[in-house]
Structure 1
Amino acid sequence: MDTPTRLFGRQRPIHAVLGGGKVANVVLWKDAKVSGAILIGIAAIWFLFEVVKYNLVTLLCHLTITTMLIIFIWSSAAQSFNWSPPNIPSIMLQDSTYREFALTLHRKLNYIFSNVLYVASGYDPKLFLLTIVSLWIISVIGSSISSVLR
């Protein structure tokens, strides 16, 4: 039986050379939806940082502000329409069997998420507005500081 002729005299197909798994499927565009989503995501990140000259600190602050506003609106609507309020910390992190470091990190992140949820839920409007203004000030300061090393 004749073996198929391969480009550059390879013995194995490219899919096998790349590992033959999900990564190979993405790189070779066999899973077009995932490959396209990754390409669009990388293009959006490139556009934000290179074309628009967006800064990482500013982007993180704006994402946090947007997330807090969405949680605030969701919590306010939940009280008005008798919906269940968001339960974000239990969704984000689950208990794990990692070592002491992972457990400590888990507790700290849960504490941070619960505080963000408390502030974003609007139970303390003064603290909510102070947080939004503080994040906005940090984003303005961060926009003048380049976080990308060149």
Structure 2
Amino acid sequence: MALSQRESHICSSDLVTDLLLWRKWHGGFIVLVSATTFWFLFERAGYNLLSFVANVLLLLVVILFLWAKSALLLNRPLPPLPDLEISEASVLKAADALRVWINYTLSIARDIAIGRNLKCLLQVAIVLWVISFVGNLVNFLTLLYIVVLLSLSAPVLYHKYQHHIDEKLCMTHRVIQMQYRRIDESLLKKILRSSNKDKKTQ
């Protein structure tokens, strides 16, 4: 049982790798065309997500109903539907992954609130500010479409130009670390000065 789960995990990771690196170009092409179609329908054509889902489900139900009726009349096989149920193992796996993320978020909040971790506070503040800034520029659907485009293009470019990208990333990381240390030191100096002034006034 454990071996089959491991094999399925390896198989799924290989499929994702093939998709992101365009080893099987038709898979990447289908994802790209589907994402572009959805983005165009909801962002440019003004289609509503709820009405789109309802119309697709209605069309699917009508097709399956007519297929089943015609199969009985013409002595043809019924529609090949799989078992439409979610297994307990998949629910437990999803809940376990969600629990890990929730516990990680709560541990960060505890470090900031109780541990008074200034470095963690600055990192969270920068990430939230970036999310807020990007959210003001584009809406969620366009951002999701950009993420799909980047996930289909960035791994291929990184695989092709890995050496040059790694060099640039190392240089950028060093510069960011130096700037972060300067900001951290200046903030600590300001905090120490204000605490010393408070002590002197008392």
TM-score (ref. length: structure 1)? 0.45
TM-score (ref. length: structure 2)? 0.34
Give the number of the structure whose residues are more often helix, by fraction.
Answer: 2
Rg larger in structure: 2
